[in-house]
């Protein structure tokens, strides 16, 4: 995964920073659909809403810190849960209510200034919340445009994704 991160990072401009976003297969279908604007920002929650991304400034990227192992093996789910979900970390374990939220990772290029101005979440060093004010407004919602997605990878073994 670190090699994939480095390759994606090499493909962006100097004014951009690579971040990651984890999501479900179902959400991926919506995000990548032809009619989609992209990732819809939340209107509440951490830092009052926006787009939650994973960021660190290491060469190997944030998934290395989350102890990525092929097909979500090893300590990946537990480490990711603790670092990104905090006290609700067990919800991303197999059988948990958010287990599907680790099915897909997007590598996303955003303006570096967005990362610098993004809110940090206490106790979760890898989490940044890009505020809605920096995103595209369309039909009453704020969006991170799907054109900013550099790469996407299915992280789940035997996943089937059918784009309609």
143/160 Cα distance (integer angstroms)? 26
- The tokens for 63 are 């998934």
Predicted confidence band of residue 76 (pLDDT cuts 50, 70, 90): very high
For residue 121, pLDDT over 80 is answered with yes
- The span from the CA of 21 to the CA of 128, in Å, is 10
Question: What percent of the chain clears pLDDT 90, i.e. is strictly above it?
Answer: 88
What is the pLDDT, as a whole number, of residue 160? Answer: 63
Q: Quick one: pLDDT band at residue 128, thresholds 50, 70, 90?
A: very high
pLDDT at 140 over 90: yes
Q: If you average pLDDT over residues 87-102, what whole number do you get?
A: 96
pLDDT for 44 equals 79
Residue 164 is predicted with a pLDDT of 53
Give the number of C-alpha atoms closer than 13 A to the C-alpha of residue 110, restricted to the C-beta side: 29
The rounded mean pLDDT for the chain is 93
Rounded to an integer, the average pLDDT of 133-150 is 96
pLDDT of residue 163: 56
Q: How far is CA 67 from the centre of its chain?
A: 16
Contacts of 66 (CB under 8 A, 6+ apart): 54, 76, 79, 80, 83, 84, 126
Contacts of residue 115, defined as CB under 8 A and 6 or more positions apart, other chains included, come to 17, 19, 55, 128, 130
Confidence of residue 159 (pLDDT cuts 50, 70, 90): low
Q: How confident is the model at residue 46 (pLDDT cuts 50, 70, 90)?
A: confident
């Amino acid at each position: 995964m670190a090699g994939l991160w480095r390759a994606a990072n090499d493909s962006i401009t100097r004014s951009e920073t690579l971040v990651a976003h984890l999501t479900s297969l179902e959400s991926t279908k919506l995000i990548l659909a032809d009619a989609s604007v992209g990732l819809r920002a939340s209107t509440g929650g951490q830092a009052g809403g926006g787009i939650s991304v994973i960021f660190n400034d290491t060469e190997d990227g944030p998934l290395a810190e989350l102890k990525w192992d092929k097909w979500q093996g090893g300590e990946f789910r537990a480490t990711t849960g603790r670092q990104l979900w905090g006290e609700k970390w067990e919800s991303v374990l197999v059988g948990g209510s958010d287990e599907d939220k680790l099915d897909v990772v997007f590598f996303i290029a955003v303006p570096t200034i967005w990362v610098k101005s993004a809110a940090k979440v206490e106790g979760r060093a890898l989490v940044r919340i890009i505020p809605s004010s920096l995103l595209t407004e369309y039909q009453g919602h704020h969006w991170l445009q799907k054109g900013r997605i550099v790469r996407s990878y299915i992280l789940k073994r035997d996943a089937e994704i059918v784009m309609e």
